[in-house]
């Protein structure tokens, strides 16, 4: 099998997770575009470690054209990350966008040809320990459109423990993920990890937030089960009690938060469809004040 060149732009929690698994495939020639250089990439999971020493770059001038660019920065860093695209691209390069939100292609088409953008949904509890060191807290699931580029993307992880699934209805998949993410605003507001979902008052707030999200998602064409709020609360309760989602982690660290792409987009689209979203609106305003 011929080699495939890959540049991962943004190696935080999700980027580190993805890059570490990519590095386990001999055919992958994986490079990392980062802000802070490190010598080794370490993925900690259960009682085992995955280690790799991919090429680490801190300046776009160090980059070479790649077959795939995997963008895994926070969405608010997309513009800065786009500085890598030209140096990392040839005429056939594809961009896999592994970010939160439901508008991957629309957002990134400002900086990359729309027809070569692949949106990807990632589901895995993972935390960044330090530069180049991440902790995986559960199985890794990647879902993407069932197209030729999607299947090509999935093949990058052949032989790894990453569960790749090409789906016909990506709209429903990405809105399911937003339902999951939307509930995490309760963690960010209370500064309490996943275990807070066992509290009946927190669970009630999560339920209301997810129900609003699902209503907007259905108006956008997503097929979402009526019991999705119970499903989401169950997922949070099954996570390690001390697990911290990215919105919570960003607030703890004093970093910008992806509130506009998580709960904010629900409020925005709810207004478009005439669907009230008071719980999401309250959460957005409280986080903005905070």
Say whether pLDDT at 97 is over 80: yes
Q: Beta partners for 10?
A: none
Q: How far is CA 182 from the centre of its chain?
A: 13
Active site residue 177: yes
Per domain, the residue ranges of the chain are 4-168, 171-289
3-state secondary structure of 190: helix
| CA proximity to 154, closest of 141, 143, 164 | 164
User: Which tens digit of pLDDT belongs to each residue from 241-272?
Assistant: 998 898 998 999 999 999 999 999 999 999 99
Query: How are beta strands 41-45 and 48-52 bridged, if at all?
Result: antiparallel
User: Which residue of the set 74, 143, 177, 208 is catalytic?
Assistant: 177
Q: Rounded to the nearest 10 degrees, what angle do helices 200-219 and 228-238 cross at?
A: 130
User: Which tens digit of pLDDT belongs to each residue from 175-194?
Assistant: 999 999 999 999 999 999 99
Say whether pLDDT at 48 is over 90: no
Model confidence, pTM: 0.90
Topology (CATH level 3) of domain 4-168? Rossmann fold (3.40.50)
Topology (CATH level 3) of domain 171-289? 1.10.1040
């Amino acid at each position: 099998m011929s080699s495939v060149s890959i540049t991962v732009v943004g190696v935080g929690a999700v980027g580190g997770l993805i890059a570490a698994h990519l590095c386990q495939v001999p055919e992958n020639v994986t490079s990392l575009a980062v802000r802070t250089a490190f010598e080794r990439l370490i993925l900690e999971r259960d009682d085992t470690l995955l280690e790799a020493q991919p090429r680490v770059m801190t300046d776009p001038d160090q980059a070479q054209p790649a077959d795939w660019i995997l963008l895994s920065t926070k969405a608010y860093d997309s513009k800065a990350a786009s500085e890598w695209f030209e140096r990392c691209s040839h005429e056939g390069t594809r961009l896999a966008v592994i970010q939160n939100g439901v508008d991957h292609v629309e957002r990134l088409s400002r900086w990359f040809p729309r027809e070569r953008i692949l949106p990807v949904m990632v589901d895995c509890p993972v935390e960044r320990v330090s530069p180049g060191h991440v902790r995986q807290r559960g199985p890794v699931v990647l879902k993407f459109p069932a197209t030729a580029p999607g299947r090509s993307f999935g093949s990058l992880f052949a032989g790894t423990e990453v569960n790749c699934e090409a789906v016909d209805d990506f709209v429903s998949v990405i809105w399911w993920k937003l339902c999951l993410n939307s509930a995490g605003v309760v963690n960010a507001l209370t500064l309490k990890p996943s275990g807070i979902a066992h509290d009946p008052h927190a669970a009630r707030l999560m339920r209301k937030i997810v129900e609003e999200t699902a209503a907007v998602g259905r108006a956008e064409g997503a097929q979402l089960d009526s019991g999705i709020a119970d499903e989401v609360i169950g997922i949070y309760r099954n996570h390690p009690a001390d697990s911290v989602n990215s919105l919570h982690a960003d607030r703890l660290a004093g970093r910008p938060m992806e509130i506009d792409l998580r709960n904010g987009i629900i409020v925005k689209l709810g207004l478009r469809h005439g669907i009230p979203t008071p719980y999401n609106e309250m959460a957005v305003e409280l986080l903005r004040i905070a």
